[in-house]
Amino acid sequence: MARITIDPVTRIEGHLRIDAVVDGGQVQKAWASCTMWRGIETILRGRDPREAWFFTQRFCGVCTTVHAIASVRAVEDALGLEVPLNAQYIRNLILIAHALHDHIVHFYHLSALDWVDVTTIPQADPTKTAAVGESLSDWPGNSDKQMKAVQAKVNGLLESGQLGIFANGYWGHPAMKLSPEVNLLALSHYLQALEFQRKANQIVGILGGKTPHIQNVAVGGVMNAINLNSLATLNMDRLYMMKDLFDEVIPFVQQVYFPDACAIAGFYPEWFEIGKGVQNYLAVPDLPTDIASTAFDLPGGTIFDGKLAGVRRISGQRDEYFRKGVVEDVTHAYYKGRGPQPPWQGETIPDFTDFQDDGKYSWVKAPRFGGKPMQVGPLSSILVGYALEHELTRKWTDLALTRVSAIAKRPITVDQMQSTMGRYLARAIRAAVLSELAVRHWGLLVSNVQKGDATVFNPPSFPKDAVEGVGFHEAPRGTLSHWVVAKDGVIANYQAVVPTTWNASPRDEQGTPGPYEAALLKNPVANPEKPLELLRTVHSFDPCMACACHTLDVEGRTIATVKVL
């Protein structure tokens, strides 16, 4: 029996820590913990609600825009303030571009090397690799020449003995199963992906004024002046500059990322049997298409116990089912508390102890919906969309499952997506769905502007009495909600319930584990010294601690420790 602790200390304080007890080649018990105080909300008390978004976008350096937009939505909800159509579309385009960027980065740069063994690439036949590429997609970037160039680069690196970017992989691990050709193809796309994640980010910059911290959001709309004839504003040139970038990013999503995710899923079908975990799913509707934010292009809802037929729709931010459903439990978190609290009444009073297996062990609170732990993320969004018969979700999910089944030579069903591999596949499906919606929302914005509507902003006014609002966003990592209480024009309370809080939540009052902890049970671990399989399941959730204390470590420290019990 061994206990594995994965605790990356790339920053001075605070991070996701995973503990797992492994026996008989499988995880028997697991804990997910955040080692840093996540009380950033306290900084917002007493501030002007109109400027909260400027601070919230600094919660996390990776997901800046999502916290900006969730924040203004929360304040707008508290005020009952409508949002002009142009502002809805502009925000939606920012959110879509950001999500495409984020999903591409996750698949290629954060998780592909869990499945792709770079050290086999010298054995690949570049011509055969190009043929595999052509069999999977029409993408023009899979030529023989491209594969030879990438192979030469890898050979050079391996011969130098300085693995650089690849120095931390679990190479030669028995769980690595792809042929050298598929590994080479994937690595070629890993390099090309750098270019497309950059282009997706440029779209955010065109609309947001700047990246990584956008400047154009406001409570009541956006601050992009629209004048089709002025150079200084959002004009036709800029709209088409954005369209050109989408026209490059979208084929990469549909012809490279999506087929790659299907191929990897098809070559590793056993991972559809691993990592199921918590089978309650939560997703919120997003991409509003009306000024009152009641109609959406992406549906939201809940599924319990893995039963898609029992899906219940969440109609919008005003839906009491959502507003009353969310509570946070601090039984096993380093906070003082008096039982589960709704976020508007939420407190953040630190109560630090050591890591106690059966007591408090995390800085993450345990959010619950109707008393249950919920899984959030692309898988939730895809399962809810599928169950609600959302057309685009059905189209891309069915296409993905057909492709995966053909490669795996066995049928893979939508129910089997409740697994580690399902989470990877769902993210690619979601990217494909969003890539189609990008075109639609660009068209909606342009035609609305051409009709002569240049309105981007409705000014807010604040009552003396306390008002409560919730703003949500189906972010790349899942359901994000900001909860604000404003009184007399200042913030009285503010809580952000972020996706990783749902997924990395510790046990609750009843001792029920959170989604990471549950998904790791029975996860295979062939060699505790090289816990690759464990990382696959953790990475499938796309963890992000939304606290981003990131002080750079220039001296190097160890991160994974194994203790024989």
Q: Which residues bind other proteins (CB under 8 A)?
A: 6, 8, 10-13, 15-16, 18, 37, 39-40, 42-43, 46-47, 54-55, 58-62, 64, 101-102, 105-106, 109-110, 153, 157, 162, 164-165, 167-168, 191, 194, 197-198, 201, 210-213, 535, 538-539, 542-545, 548-556, 559-560
> Judged by CB, which is closer to other proteins: 59, or 424?
59
Please give the full DSSP string across 411-428, using - where no structure is assigned: ---GGGGSSHHHHHHHHH
- Name the phi and psi angles at 70, rounded to 5: -60, -35
Spatial contact of 311 and 380, defined as CB atoms under 8 Å apart? no
The first and second tokens of residue 48, run together, are 């002007």
- Least distance in angstroms from the C-beta of 550 to other proteins: 4
- Please tell me what DSSP assigns to residue 219: T
Distance CA 524, CA 534 (A): 7
- Least distance in angstroms from the C-beta of 355 to other proteins: 17
Sequence letter at residue 152: A
Spatial contact of 494 and 41, defined as CB atoms under 8 Å apart? yes
- Least distance in angstroms from the C-beta of 34 to other proteins: 10
- Least distance in angstroms from the C-beta of 18 to other proteins: 8
- Least distance in angstroms from the C-beta of 358 to other proteins: 24
> Judged by CB, which is closer to other proteins: 60, or 414?
60
> Judged by CB, which is closer to other proteins: 57, or 120?
57
> Judged by CB, which is closer to other proteins: 4, or 421?
4
Distance CA 5, CA 136 (A): 39
Distance CA 425, CA 159 (A): 34
> Judged by CB, which is closer to other proteins: 47, or 128?
47
- Residue among 19, 519, 502, 499 nearest 278 (CA): 519
What is the distance, to the nearest Å, from the Cα of residue 326 to the centroid of all Cα atoms in its chain? 20
> Judged by CB, which is closer to other proteins: 92, or 197?
197
- Least distance in angstroms from the C-beta of 94 to other proteins: 15
> Judged by CB, which is closer to other proteins: 10, or 510?
10
> Judged by CB, which is closer to other proteins: 46, or 339?
46
Q: What is the chain's length?
A: 565
What residues have CB less than 8 Å from 129, skipping those under 6 apart? 142, 147, 181, 182, 184, 185, 188
- Least distance in angstroms from the C-beta of 509 to other proteins: 27
- Least distance in angstroms from the C-beta of 555 to other proteins: 6
Strands (E), 103-150: none
Q: What angle do CA 284, 290, 294 make, to 5 degrees?
A: 40
The first and second tokens of residue 407, run together, are 């490669």
